[in-house]
């Protein structure tokens, strides 16, 4: 192992070290890459994803959980993408002292929707880009343990996963119930991580500054009784309406309770990043990023304009040059009406935009076909193309350039 490689490994290891246990002192909490203890395997919630790190193809390890909130945007905990410092001697978080340090390169991040996270990099993982967005503000861990990862290209298609909707309307209330999901350990003593687990019927015990004095919970956080553990960090707390209302931050040793970052506290940050990611990936943003509300608009009928839900058997997709409700399809049932093809990213039968009409020199509008418009102008164009073709024939052959640029990834 070269010194450079060793240095990279040492820089990444604190992210894992943050997942260790904390002292019994309530001021010290484990910033757990937090497993669900006593839960059950979840094969259905594909929007709850597993995270991993690939360090220059030299080291690969699963370490956290997250929520897919748009095809190419993942919500997670900031300590899953950044180093931390000023922890307690046992590795726990000390609010007001534990800060975030260097952020990992986005290209090192990996995301999977598989219920069992693969142990090696491969096609089951989607790759991050250079776009890793920590929550804006201070470097303090407490109250700012939220981050967004933008995935390559269009991200994860609708036939592979259904994104979760973030709860934007406000924090939960004490007594609200929620579902906790994550890929962490299933034994408080360690072990059993890597499988998506869930536990239902958890309860919010306090929110923000209403929590007891000395409980080390910031205004943008809340506490619940879900028994999460190491490896669940960044994973979702899902409310009764199926919306993500929390991203897991930390919890006490023994995996007996949890502290979550409140999603609604970061509404503007989440919407702004999701709109930017949609533009980067050349995809349509989810309805909540356009409306600023988690409440879905009324379901549109087939052929109607849409930004969200459609009637049963149809999905909102870009077809005929606009966003309309089209017949749904997937890789198992890809058949579509004549003239349409199955777009596996949106899961809908789509058609290309209509060919625009062109205007000839006389001001008349016509379709771009050889038999229309000004005949002499078309003939002149044809002769010019033939001349160009002749010149190309007489040009000497161009030798191929077999040299290709090298590839490399760097970790911040």
Q: Are residues 252 and 348 in the same domain?
A: no
Q: Are residues 255 and 336 in the same domain?
A: no
Q: Is residue 220's pLDDT more than 90?
A: yes
Residue 391 belongs to a domain: no
Strands 109-112 and 48-55: antiparallel
Q: Are residues 314 and 249 in the same domain?
A: no
Q: Are residues 329 and 251 in the same domain?
A: no
Strands 314-319 and 322-327: antiparallel
Q: Is 303 helix (H, G, I), strand (E, B) or coil?
A: coil
Q: Are residues 262 and 321 in the same domain?
A: no
pLDDT-based confidence at 189, cuts 50/70/90? low
CB 240 within 8 A of CB 206: no
* Distance, CA of 141 to CA of 249 (rounded, Å): 9
Residue 159 belongs to a domain: yes
pLDDT-based confidence at 45, cuts 50/70/90? very high
**pLDDT mean across residues, the chain:** 80
Question: What pLDDT is recorded for position 324?
Answer: 95
Q: Is 393 helix (H, G, I), strand (E, B) or coil?
A: helix
* Distance, CA of 300 to CA of 307 (rounded, Å): 9
* Distance, CA of 325 to CA of 120 (rounded, Å): 38
Return the half-sphere exposure (C-beta side, CA atoms, 13 A cut-off) of residue 194: 10
Q: Is residue 237's pLDDT more than 80?
A: yes
Q: What is the mean pLDDT of residues 135-139?
A: 92
How far is the CA of 386 from the CAs of 375, 377, 396, in angstroms?
Answer: 17, 14, 18
User: Bigger pLDDT: 70 or 256?
Assistant: 70
pLDDT-based confidence at 88, cuts 50/70/90? low
Q: Are residues 147 and 218 in the same domain?
A: yes
CA trace torsion 197, 179, 16, 140 (10° rounding): 170
Residue 375 belongs to a domain: no
Highest mean pLDDT among 119-133, 257-271, 298-312: 257-271
Q: Is residue 31's pLDDT more than 60?
A: no
Q: Are residues 62 and 107 in the same domain?
A: yes
Instruction: Report percent pLDDT > 90 for the chain.
Output: 58
Q: Tell me how many degrees the CA angle 145-147-152 measures, rounded to the nearest 5.
A: 160
CB 205 within 8 A of CB 251: no
Among the ranges given (92-96, 164-168, 240-244), the one the predictor scored with the smallest mean pLDDT: 92-96
Instruction: Report percent pLDDT > 70 for the chain.
Output: 75
Residue 401 bridge partners (DSSP): none
* Distance, CA of 408 to CA of 412 (rounded, Å): 13
Q: Which of the listed residues 328, 346, 364 is the one where a domain comes to its end?
A: 364
* Distance, CA of 39 to CA of 49 (rounded, Å): 16
CB 57 within 8 A of CB 128: no
Q: What is the CATH number of the domain that holds 80?
A: 2.40.10.120
Question: What pLDDT is recorded for position 22?
Answer: 35
CB 256 within 8 A of CB 38: no
Domain hosting 23: range is 10-267
Q: Are residues 304 and 218 in the same domain?
A: no
Q: Are residues 21 and 88 in the same domain?
A: yes
Written as six digits, the tokens of 59 are 């080291």
Written as six digits, the tokens of 96 are 């007001």
* Distance, CA of 218 to CA of 238 (rounded, Å): 20
Give the gyration radius of the chain's Cα atoms.
Answer: 26
Residue 360 belongs to a domain: yes
Question: What pLDDT is recorded for position 406?
Answer: 34
Question: What pLDDT is recorded for position 368?
Answer: 45
Residue 404 belongs to a domain: no
pLDDT-based confidence at 375, cuts 50/70/90? very low
pLDDT digits (tens, 9 = 90+) for 255-293: 889 999 999 999 999 999 999 999 999 999 999 999 999
Written as six digits, the tokens of 71 are 């095809």
Residue 55 bridge partners (DSSP): 59
Q: Is residue 386's pLDDT more than 50?
A: no
Question: What pLDDT is recorded for position 37?
Answer: 65
Among the ranges given (63-72, 104-113, 124-133, 367-376), the one the predictor scored with the smallest mean pLDDT: 367-376
Q: Are residues 262 and 327 in the same domain?
A: no
Q: Are residues 138 and 90 in the same domain?
A: yes
Question: What pLDDT is recorded for position 363?
Answer: 56
Q: Are residues 321 and 244 in the same domain?
A: no
Residues in the chain: 412
CB 35 within 8 A of CB 193: yes
The pTM assigned to this predicted structure is: 0.78
Q: Is 181 helix (H, G, I), strand (E, B) or coil?
A: strand
Residue 381 belongs to a domain: no
Residue 337 belongs to a domain: yes
Residue 158 belongs to a domain: yes
Written as six digits, the tokens of 89 are 């001697």
Among the ranges given (58-72, 75-89, 296-310, 318-332), the one the predictor scored with the smallest mean pLDDT: 75-89
Question: What pLDDT is recorded for position 127?
Answer: 93
* Distance, CA of 243 to CA of 264 (rounded, Å): 11
Count of CB atoms situated within 10 Å of the CB of 390:
9
* Distance, CA of 30 to CA of 16 (rounded, Å): 11
Maximum alpha-carbon separation in the chain? 89
Number of domains, the chain: 2
């Amino acid at each position: 192992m070269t010194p450079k490689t060793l240095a990279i490994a040492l820089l990444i290891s604190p992210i894992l070290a943050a997942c260790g246990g904390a002292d019994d002192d309530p001021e010290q909490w484990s910033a757990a890459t937090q497993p669900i203890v006593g839960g059950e395997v979840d094969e259905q919630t594909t929007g709850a994803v597993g995270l991993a790190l690939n360090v220059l193809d030299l080291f690969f390890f699963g370490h956290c959980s997250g929520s897919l909130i748009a095809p190419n945007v993942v919500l997670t905990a900031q300590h899953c993408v950044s180093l931390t410092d000023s922890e307690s001697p046992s590795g726990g978080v000390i609010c007001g002292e534990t800060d975030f340090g260097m952020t990992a390169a986005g290209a090192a991040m990996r995301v999977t929707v598989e219920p069992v996270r693969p142990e090696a990099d491969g096609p089951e993982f989607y790759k991050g880009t250079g776009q890793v967005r920590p929550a804006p503000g201070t470097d303090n861990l407490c109250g700012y343990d939220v981050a967004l990862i933008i995935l390559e290209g269009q991200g994860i298609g609708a036939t592979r996963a259904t994104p979760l909707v973030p709860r934007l309307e406000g924090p939960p209330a004490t007594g609200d119930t929620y579902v906790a999901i994550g890929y962490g350990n299933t034994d408080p003593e360690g072990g059993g991580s890597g499988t998506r687990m869930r536990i239902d019927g958890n309860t919010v015990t306090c929110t923000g500054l209403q929590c007891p004095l000395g409980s080390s919970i910031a205004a943008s956080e809340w506490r619940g009784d879900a028994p999460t553990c190491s490896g669940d960090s960044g994973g979702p707390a899902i409310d009764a309406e199926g919306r993500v209302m929390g991203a897991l931050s930390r919890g006490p040793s023994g995996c007996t309770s949890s502290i979550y970052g409140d999603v609604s506290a970061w509404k503007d940050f989440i919407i702004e990043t999701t709109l930017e990611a949609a533009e980067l990936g050349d995809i349509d943003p989810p309805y909540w990023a356009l409306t600023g509300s988690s409440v879905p608009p009324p379901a549109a009928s087939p052929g109607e304009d849409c930004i969200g839900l459609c009637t049963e058997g149809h999905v909102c997709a870009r077809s005929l040059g606009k966003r309309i409700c089209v017949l749904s399809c997937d890789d198992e049932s890809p058949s579509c009406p004549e003239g349409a093809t199955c777009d596996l990213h949106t899961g809908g039968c789509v058609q290309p935009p209509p060919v625009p009409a062109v205007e000839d020199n006389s001001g008349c509008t016509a379709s771009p076909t050889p038999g229309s418009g000004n005949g002499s102008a078309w003939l002149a164009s044809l002769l010019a193309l033939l001349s160009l073709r002749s010149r190309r024939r007489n040009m000497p052959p161009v030798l191929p350039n077999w040299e290709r640029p090298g590839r490399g990834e760097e970790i911040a």
